[in-house]
Structure 1
Amino acid sequence: MKFLALISGGKDSIYNIIRCVQEGHELILLVNLYPKQIGIESDSFMYQSVGTNAIQAIAQAMDKPLMTREISGKPKITNLDYQSKDEDRIGDEVEDLYLILKEAILTYPDIKGVSSGAIASTYQKLRVEDCCNRLGLTSLAYLWNQDQFSLLDQMLQNNMNIILIKVAAMGLTQKHLGKTIQELYDYFKEINKKFGFHPCGEGGEFESFVLDCPLYKKRIHIKAQLEVQIQEQKDTIEDAQSWIEFHTLELENSEERLAGQQAWYAVQSEIYETQTAERAAQNEIVDRLQEHISEKLSTTAQFISKRN
């Protein structure tokens, strides 16, 4: 299936693209919704705002087209399933997603699926599905409801270089900005036990940015950044929100890296073909068993009928 990917720059949206590719789907387009004021935290319930000024670098790193749209709506309809009259939806931020998806499939009519990095937010997942259903698209959310430490393990196993670009939780401070998930993995376990910290940031504890992964033809390098901190009605510095504003990013390329990426895609293709063949063989066995059972049941029924 050809698909577009909703990306924020964070680990979840990028890793779900990897999972889509591993399942045999083909990435056609990247899509991002950004706030009116770049670099300013928005009050969106749906979209990550920190790091959106670096989305173009991700598109260049992947060598994929990028479609963007400014978020004009607000979170008006806050019931869980987003069920309401059409006129009530006007001005809701979800309609920005609907409109850019509509534009995307008009531009790329072969697109049939939408990748998103939903893990635990039913609120977000149902809204993506609502937009997909209205447009006849399939929602692809392979990370949904998975164990969060297991997901981090998978991301690291897939050689994703992920850094924290925002922190907003007990136990995380400005000193953790720019640190990689690999560096913080054990610390995440510690504060998970101590504070109930969500290791994938599903409670809003942090936001991330992916500097490198197997999908990238070029590695992203930060040349200049600014660390920002705000502290509103907070008692301790640990409770403050801090984030990184990217000023200058550079793409690093090499023939060795490009060859490595091509090899990764080839391996994923082989794995998918093998898994597809195995599933087909398993389905054939199941079909034969069901056919055999049906024949036995039919024979038994006939025997009982004759005896009666």
Structure 2
Amino acid sequence: MSYIASWSGGKDSCFACYQAILDGYDISYLANFLSKEYRRVRFHGTEAKLIQLQAEAIGIPLFQKETTGSGYEQEVKDAIGGLIPNGVEGIVCGDIYLQETRNLMERICGDLGIKLIEPLWGNDPEKILLEFIDYGFEATIVSADSNLFDKEWIGRKVDRDFLKYLKDNNIDVCGENGEYHTFVTDGPLFKKKIKITSSRTIIRDRFWFLDILEYC
């Protein structure tokens, strides 16, 4: 039997997937849910084609589904349910402490009769971020709240300097409330590193976004 990994392209979903693999789970699909309006990952702002690039670099098949704000829960449930005939037994998610998000996935999994695996749940956020860095993962900051971050942080790597800034400014270390989002470009899961060669920073509705223009 196999499992789906819920995949946003960011550090938490990536690290949860990696931890699940270390725990012996067979990940057969990365499941990525996009905004139907923008064809980008919700809140992260990452384009669909960049998520496809990640899946190719990792070597796990990608399942992408466009969703709407009003019908999100049912649309996600329908998408995951469509994979059950392929032998999918459960889904791996990267939630850390947001009960509302976990409740959503528990409802979906309960309705479908599959298991919910949450490798990061209840762990200390600082410990999670340090382990992510120490395992050799690389992630770029691709969106952030402009009330908390200057423009210069966009496009920078997640590292110990970034962690220090978060702690010094009392910002949630893992950005669990959407303070910032990332795009993973390398690490133990990856067979090939993704290099961002050209980008620009834009602001929309108070949030900075890294618009990735060229990559290899």
Residue in 2 that maps onto 1:247? 213
* Correspondences of 1:1-308 after superposition (within 5 Å): 2-38=2-38, 47-53=42-48, 54-74=50-70, 92-106=71-85, 108=86, 110-168=87-145, 170-182=147-159, 183-192=161-170, 197-230=171-204, 240-250=206-216
| Contact 1:67/1:104, CA 8 A, preserved across alignment | no
Q: Residues 186 and 39 from structure 1, CA distance in 2 versus in 1: closer, same or farther, beyond 3 angstroms?
A: farther
Q: Residues 64 and 101 from structure 1, CA distance in 2 versus in 1: closer, same or farther, beyond 3 angstroms?
A: same
3-state SS of paired residue (1:33): strand
C-alpha separation in 1, matches of 2:79 and 2:43: 16
- Using the size of structure 1 for normalisation, the TM-score is 0.66
Identity of aligned residues (%): 23
Alpha-carbon shift at residue 224 of structure 1 (Å): 2.3
| Contact 1:57/1:249, CA 8 A, preserved across alignment | no
Question: Tell me, which stretches of 5 or more residues in structure 1 are unaligned?
Answer: 42-46, 75-91, 233-239, 251-308
C-alpha separation in 1, matches of 2:39 and 2:31: 19
C-alpha separation in 1, matches of 2:47 and 2:101: 18
C-alpha separation in 2, matches of 1:112 and 1:61: 25
3-state SS of paired residue (1:57): helix
C-alpha separation in 1, matches of 2:110 and 2:39: 32
3-state SS of paired residue (1:131): helix
Alpha-carbon shift at residue 129 of structure 1 (Å): 1.4
| Contact 1:30/1:67, CA 8 A, preserved across alignment | yes
Question: Tell me, which stretches of 5 or more residues in structure 2 are unaligned?
Answer: none
C-alpha separation in 2, matches of 1:241 and 1:21: 33
Deviations 1:169-193 (A, max 9, x none): 543121100111114122122112x
Deviations 1:29-52 (A, max 9, x none): 1111101233778xxxxx444114
Higher Cα Rg, which structure: 1
RMSD value, Cα: 1.8
Deviations 1:251-270 (A, max 9, x none): xxxxxxxxxxxxxxxxxxxx
Residue in 2 that maps onto 1:281? none
Q: Which amino acid aligns with 2:165?
A: Y
C-alpha separation in 1, matches of 2:150 and 2:75: 33
Higher relative contact order (CA 8 A, sep 6+): 2
C-alpha separation in 1, matches of 2:37 and 2:74: 19
C-alpha separation in 2, matches of 1:122 and 1:169: 26
C-alpha separation in 1, matches of 2:103 and 2:202: 33
Q: Which amino acid aligns with 1:22?
A: L
Alpha-carbon shift at residue 229 of structure 1 (Å): 1.1
C-alpha separation in 2, matches of 1:143 and 1:181: 18
Q: Which has the higher strand share?
A: 2
Number of paired residues? 214
C-alpha separation in 1, matches of 2:123 and 2:58: 26
